[in-house]
A and B are shown apart, each in its own frame.
Chain A
Amino acid sequence: MDNEAFNTLKRDVESMTEVEGLTMTDLLTFPDDLRLLLNWMMRENGVQIEEMASYLAQEVNEARMLLEKMIEKGLIEEIKKKEEEQYQVLVKSSRNYRVPKKIWQVIE
């Protein structure tokens, strides 16, 4: 990811309203780079800061700032796995949840 795309990604995260976890339908409405980043994190089921920096092709400090912002927005959480700090996507519970109408707008 080049610096311009990374800066756009940061702006996209900063401009988001806070959520308490992601729904898959929300994910589909996100800008491409943010959606692909979150998809990748979900598939990895937890990533370390160095892996994140490598994915973004950025310095660790830059990746850390973005992760902190994503935690603040309620998109991801920090967890401890096998004594290592990792970051994983926070998936919202679907209890009493119904797919919103916007799912159809997303795929139109």
Chain B
Amino acid sequence: MSKIISVHSFRGGTGKSNTTANLAALLALQGNRVGVVDTDVQSPGIHVLFGLDESQMAHSLNDYLYGKCAITETAVDVTSNLKVPVKGKVFLIPSSIKAGEIARVLREGYDVGLLNDGFQDLLEGLKLDFLLIDTHPGLNEETLLSIAISDALVIIMRPDQQDYQGTGVTVEIARKLGVPAMLLVVNKVPQAFDPAEVKAKVERIYNCTVAAVLPHSDEMMALASAGIFSLQYPDHPVAAKYKQLAAQLMA
């Protein structure tokens, strides 16, 4: 049975796209067929992690949302871009990085209902085991829809007072929308912090399981989105945490 997983954060810069890309790669390493949809149409970016440039995008999610093509036509097989042997597949559904198309989305919006139909078409058309949705930070109709239809929601936060407040809002919304599984991930935790204390504090605040506490990593900063961290540093402690998280999603 295929699963839809939304990866969300209330604020930007939490490492949402990096987490999504790492999870997609790790799930594919285990033999799964994985789709990744960049629904952050206002500020797309996950294509960079998969080494995809504009010339490789025949179509984008924007084309589907404006009725120019089927959503399956927008999917790009990026498995070979991972540059390691992978048993499964990763398909990326990128958002357009053309300024004019981003401006159109901001100006006109789009038919949110098409997203749900599109996700289902991707699951069936590409025979996916997992569909990961990289959402726009904060709350709007699109992110609410993604959360509402997900089998699991991964919420990323940093140990920052602004994130604590915003994450509370997202957790509350997810509960109202009856999301079957909710996984909290605390990212970019300074080395000076005790991960066990951070985990206990976050779980106490939200009454929700923390699936992973990821330490801040200079190596990840240095990689600067030029690849998938857990594939390039497979023995790094952060990679180990991503693997744990992927295992929880497969369970």
Q: Enumerate chain A interface residues (CB-CB to B < 8 A).
A: 21, 23-25, 27-28, 35-36, 39-40, 42-43, 45, 90-97, 99, 103, 106-107
Contacts and interface: CB of A to CB of B under 8 A. Distances in A.
Interface in B142-179: 142, 144-145, 148-151, 169, 172-173, 176-178
Given A27-B148, A28-B173, A95 B178 contact: no
Contact of B108 (A23, A36, A39, A96): A96
A45 B120 contact: yes
Given A43-B148, A43-B149, A94-B109, A99 B116 contact: no
Contacts of B178: 35-36, 39-40
A96 B109 contact: yes
A39 B139 contact: no
B113 A42 contact: no
B55 interface: no
B176 A35 contact: yes
29 contacts: A24-B112, A27-B148, A27-B177, A28-B144, A28-B176, A35-B176, A35-B177, A36-B178, A39-B148, A39-B178, A43-B149, A43-B151, A45-B116, A45-B117, A45-B149, A91-B112, A91-B113, A91-B116, A92-B112, A92-B113, A93-B109, A93-B111, A94-B109, A94-B112, A96-B108, A96-B109, A99-B139, A99-B140, A107-B169
B119 to A, nearest CB: 8
Nearest to B4: A43
A28 B112 contact: no
Contacts, number: 69
B229 to A, nearest CB: 31
A95 B111 CA distance: 6
Contact of A25 (B108, B117, B144, B169): B144
A93 B116 CA distance: 12
Nearest to B119: A45
B145 A91 contact: yes
B172 to A, nearest CB: 6
Contact of B148 (A24, A96, A99, A107): A24
Given A24-B144, A93-B111, 4 more contacts: A43-B149, A43-B150, A45-B117, A99-B140
Contacts of B142: 94
B172 A107 contact: yes
Contacts of B173: 28, 107
A61 to B, nearest CB: 26
A21 B141 CA distance: 13
